[in-house]
């Protein structure tokens, strides 16, 4: 989706605010949202659907509201979409007992236990598949020119561009379909692009941009 989130190379966002306080959280509510995200999740959701729901936030909110606020808003949206919460509950902050059967609350965990949970959350996204990779290391490839209106991980700036296969990583969950509830796996490659292939203003330079791209995004044919 060519949404507001697809920021690579877009002009106009100014200088980087590099001076910020030390520490992971700058407000107590940021820490709460981080903690919520680590221990509650909309049932049966994929990371790709969650990411897509975040991409669908209205552009002014996406760009201007604080980062962890967008996580809270995405959580609300996915809970409402999945029927766990109603819009009325979210707006009022008051639970409607008819809306969702109360679960038996999980046992509380302490710091030592959540550090073990963090270790367990080292989720893998790869799998063995029956098909061999189409492309080989050092082969020239061309990326898809079009994109589509759903979730995708081929950024606009890297469409219709010529790159070289730098590495093959086996088959990984294909995000475009995972964001529609279908888990399929497809060969994933690191593709290296010369900076002057991507950006018209870049002259003689050896600088490069590497992206991790799925086979569906790539073609070996000349455009």
Partner 1 sequence: MPEYDAKKVAEIHQHLHSHLPSDSALRVKALESLLVDKGLIDPRTIDAWVEAYTEEIGPKRGAHVVARAWSDPDYKQWLMKDAPAAIDKLGYLGNATAHLKVVENTDSIHNLVVCTLCSCYPFSILGVAPVWYKAAAYRSRAVRDPRGVLAEFGVVIDDKIEVRVWDSTAELRYLVLPQRPAGSDDLSEGELAGLVTRNSMIGTDRDLTAKTGGIS
* Closer residue to partner 1 in complex, CB, 134/222: 134
x/- mask, partner 1, residues 95-134, rule CB under 8 A, reads x----x-xxxxxxxxxx-xxx--xxxxxxxxx--------
**Residues within window 19-48 making contact with partner 1, judged by CB under 8 A:** 20, 22-29, 31-36, 38-40, 42-45
For residue 133, the minimal CB distance to partner 1 (Å) is: 15
For residue 222, the minimal CB distance to partner 1 (Å) is: 24
Regarding 168 and contact with partner 1 (CB under 8 A), the answer is no
Regarding 58 and contact with partner 1 (CB under 8 A), the answer is yes
Regarding 148 and contact with partner 1 (CB under 8 A), the answer is no
For residue 138, the minimal CB distance to partner 1 (Å) is: 17
Nearest-angstrom CA–CA distance, 180 and 45: 10
**Residues within window 62-81 making contact with partner 1, judged by CB under 8 A:** 63, 65-69, 72-73, 75-81
**Residues within window 189-218 making contact with partner 1, judged by CB under 8 A:** 190, 198-199, 206-214
- Take residue 21 and report the two structure tokens written for it: 């306080």
* Closer residue to partner 1 in complex, CB, 1/134: 1
Nearest-angstrom CA–CA distance, 187 and 171: 4
Nearest-angstrom CA–CA distance, 54 and 38: 17
* Closer residue to partner 1 in complex, CB, 12/222: 12
The correct pick among 129, 153, 164, 196 for binding partner 1 (CB under 8 A) is 153
Nearest-angstrom CA–CA distance, 32 and 34: 5
């Amino acid at each position: 989706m060519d949404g507001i989130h697809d920021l690579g190379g877009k002009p106009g966002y100014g200088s980087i605010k590099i001076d910020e306080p030390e520490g992971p959280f700058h407000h107590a509510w940021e820490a709460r949202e981080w903690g919520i995200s680590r221990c509650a999740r909309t049932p049966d959701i994929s990371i790709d659907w969650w990411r897509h729901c975040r991409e669908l936030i209205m552009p002014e909110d996406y760009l201007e509201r604080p980062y962890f606020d967008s996580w809270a808003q995405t959580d609300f949206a996915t809970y409402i979409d999945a029927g766990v919460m109603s819009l009325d509950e979210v707006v009022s902050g008051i639970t409607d007992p008819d809306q969702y059967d109360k679960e038996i609350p999980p046992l509380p965990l302490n710091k030592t236990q959540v550090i073990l949970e963090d270790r367990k959350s080292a989720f893998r996204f790869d799998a063995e598949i029956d098909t061999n990779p189409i492309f080989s290391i050092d082969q020239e490839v061309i990326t898809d020119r079009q994109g589509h209106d759903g979730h995708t991980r081929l950024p606009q700036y890297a469409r219709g561009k010529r790159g070289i296969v730098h590495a093959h990583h086996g088959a990984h969950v294909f995000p475009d379909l995972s964001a529609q509830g279908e888990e399929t796996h497809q060969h994933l490659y690191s593709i290296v692009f010369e900076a002057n292939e991507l950006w018209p203003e870049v002259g003689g330079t050896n600088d490069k941009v590497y992206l991790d791209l799925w086979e569906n995004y790539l073609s070996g044919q000349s455009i």
